[in-house]
Chains A and B, each alone.
Chain A
């Protein structure tokens, strides 16, 4: 009788045969509605915008990362190339170029360091949502049927690797530290004299604030600073830190996009100055 927990008898009945046509919302026993979904709003606009935005960034950053040119215009170093860890780096006075890799590294030095922010963003809980929806259509939008035959989520390789997000967070912190250092260096002029500021300095400032806000608002960070605790009352400082991170975390998506654009724009700014398209307007 109706206890709500007995077997309904409709599960798995359809097993293998004919499953292609009769799976998901068309599983036998569910309301027989032919349309895979009945949404009438523009549900596709969000995933489409995601795809467009991410693709644009990928194209631009791939070009810039492999170009290995026009990434330093004293005192500015492009965030794509910072820190610069190979022998083939441009000379940056006092800048973040430390030759850890030596001369054998032949291709663009950006590749060495970009792995870390790339991995951080690739495993980020927000970006995962964005590209699972946008690129994988898994699902394309809420209550819109996904096209896949089978689904195992993040339970097996390779997607189980998403669980290493925390290491990328650990790695992203020093990288953000170096970018902070770059921003400090941006308070020099082109002759490396301190106490100056140009439009580029402002661009760097905005970028580093957004980078930090994005990095700190990370879900792993939220967990580490306090989320893992059971009794906040016994850890008042960590509780406050957790609340602060939590407030930022609520805007993780906005920060993810804002910092993505700001880092690309910062690089573009350096490129334009380095390639001589215009001179950095100096304030003082």
Chain B
């Protein structure tokens, strides 16, 4: 095996989105030498796509807002399967995390008295989202990026080297978390630019790689969202939690085809936009579920009054949690009341003056103008559901963000599971990144300070290198041996088939036979993926990169499909046509995915490549702390909690 460059760090953060950068800042500020690895250029992570805002109960706009109300909204939005301690920490700490951004140079939109303005969003009782127009994610990522640069400047003044304590390895992909026995020992990856392999040895690794959307055809997610972190954790022996909960954002663009899925921010509705079907009806009034009935307006008049007088009117049903709106749109389209390109109409043009629209929704205006030739100040947008976010993820300890079962492994942001339960509220993602990014960085640094340093064993590095080089050999002589006989496969074709399968069979509305079919197809794809072959060499070769990412997407897709088949109820981001109701008995059940053949360090599948690689374990969750339960009315709890939970 050729020599692989090795470096030693205290903490390695995989992913440079909001969570990764926040973790890196915290780890570095707590004295750990920290490396950040990201697939894209520094500052391009998918967080930039976040539009609406950061949810934090700062009570700048409505003085009644408190962390308790925010906690309550989060639990309701997630239909009570949230890891409640995470939801609590999140609601308590979010304001501090937002305020801290200001001290790093962030410039949020302001209230009249100069504080951070907050806007309404689906599922949030009060205006709560700190924002900058509709480009909040960009502001967040840039602020964190500039804070990292500020820390590097500090290090430069002290040590003469910008990267002595905090270094960003951009355009690098991690393919394996390396271990020493049970505990984490480092990561193995390659530089996209040159194709060179490298090993970063570190006792603590924070995974902050975001989501899995690229396994679906219609998605708002970028190419990076291939479930890398989920797969890295799985392969390192950490379980994934509740992967069946995938959020389909109700409003993605539906036309033209090349931009299908690109997000249309919820702020459009938060600021007054309404949904109409082809008949011109505001159909959301027909879809208010029982659990939310008291909280939402029943007439258009009341809904319209709410924008000016939220204390005496109920909110419009367009602002129901995302899962409800997405299902409603899906139903309208299915019943033939959709728009020409298979969506529904989202209209702001009749609700606000053109100038206000351009000021408050500048990037939406821009996006529709440039990409679809639609002037949103004059005509409605056409929108439909798009795969947006995965609520499931690496099972973590609520307080420390430590992944379960693998000492030294931490996870934060979208890749971590539990916080959002079965459905995430808009705006809770950016606050999640900050709160748990910071916690992951802190506890990773503390862990690293106490952990022994062990060099990574050479065999592990060799195995990881062999795995990464496999696509260059596939299709050649090797492919005719074992179960791999067959022609070489084009990774792009495999990816398209995978996306189609997940979109059609494990999409927004799910049925048992379809998911069984999906599992079968995934198994076939997995066999074919072993023959994914690439041309050319290792220098910036996207075909190769995709071939390697396929492993992750296939693993994660199987988790989603298996967990979705197992959970025989509909809840949040998981809707079963064959089990359309929420079942209180499932409230306290977590589904954990693990790799089927637990052979740590074994880079490749067992004997039969067609066999499923994932096993599911059911687990009963810890009861919600009584003082938190007391924040809800009894009548509400009855709808969610099983009888025996209520009596305790």
- Consider the complex of A and B and state whether they touch directly, i.e. have CB atoms less than 8 Å apart: yes
Residues of A within 8 A of B368 (CB): none
Residues of B within 8 A of A3 (CB): 163, 167-170
B167 touches A2 (CB 8 A): no
Docked Cα-Cα span, A4 to B170, in Å, equals 7
Docked Cα-Cα span, A2 to B38, in Å, equals 10
Residues of A within 8 A of B194 (CB): 2
0/1 per residue, B183-224, Cβ < 8 Å to A? 000000001111010100000000000000000000000000
Docked Cα-Cα span, A1 to B42, in Å, equals 14
List A136-185 residues whose CB lies under 8 Å from chain B. none
List B157-195 residues whose CB lies under 8 Å from chain A. 162-163, 167-172, 191-194
> How many A-B residue pairs lie within 8 Å, measured between CB atoms?
26
Docked Cα-Cα span, A4 to B196, in Å, equals 15
Interface membership of B371, Cβ < 8 A: no
B171 touches A2 (CB 8 A): yes
- Pick from B162, B163, B172: contact of A2, CB under 8 Å: B172
Interface membership of B5, Cβ < 8 A: yes
0/1 per residue, B372-399, Cβ < 8 Å to A? 0000000000000000000000000000
Docked Cα-Cα span, A1 to B170, in Å, equals 9
Interface membership of A5, Cβ < 8 A: yes
Docked Cα-Cα span, A2 to B41, in Å, equals 10
B interface residue count range (under 10 / 10 to 19 / 20 to 34 / 35 or more): 10 to 19
What number of A residues sit within 8 Å (CB to CB) of B?
5
B5 touches A1 (CB 8 A): yes
A1 touches B162 (CB 8 A): no
Chain A's nearest CB lies how many Å from the CB of B141? Answer: 16
Residues of B within 8 A of A4 (CB): 41-42, 168, 170-171
B41 touches A1 (CB 8 A): no
Docked Cα-Cα span, A3 to B171, in Å, equals 8
A2 touches B192 (CB 8 A): yes
Docked Cα-Cα span, A154 to B573, in Å, equals 59
A4's nearest neighbour on chain B, judged by CB, is B170
A233's nearest neighbour on chain B, judged by CB, is B114
Chain B's nearest CB lies how many Å from the CB of A64? Answer: 45
Docked Cα-Cα span, A1 to B7, in Å, equals 11
List A45-75 residues whose CB lies under 8 Å from chain B. none
Residues of A within 8 A of B170 (CB): 2-4
Docked Cα-Cα span, A2 to B540, in Å, equals 12
Residues of B within 8 A of A1 (CB): 5, 169, 172, 191, 196, 198
Docked Cα-Cα span, A5 to B193, in Å, equals 14
List B17-63 residues whose CB lies under 8 Å from chain A. 41-42
Residues of B within 8 A of A5 (CB): 162-163
Chain B's nearest CB lies how many Å from the CB of A232? Answer: 12
0/1 per residue, A1-15, Cβ < 8 Å to B? 111110000000000
A-B interface, 4 closest residue pairs, ranked by CB to CB distance from nearest? A2-B191, A4-B170, A2-B171, A2-B193
Give B residues with C-beta under 8 Å from A: 5, 41-42, 162-163, 167-172, 191-194, 196, 198
24 residue pairs from A and B, CB less than 8 Å apart: A1-B5, A1-B169, A1-B172, A1-B191, A1-B196, A1-B198, A2-B169, A2-B170, A2-B171, A2-B172, A2-B191, A2-B193, A2-B194, A3-B163, A3-B167, A3-B168, A3-B169, A3-B170, A4-B41, A4-B42, A4-B168, A4-B170, A5-B162, A5-B163
With contacts A1-B196, A4-B42, A5-B163 known, what are 7 further pairs, Cβ within 8 A? A1-B191, A1-B198, A2-B172, A3-B167, A4-B41, A4-B168, A5-B162
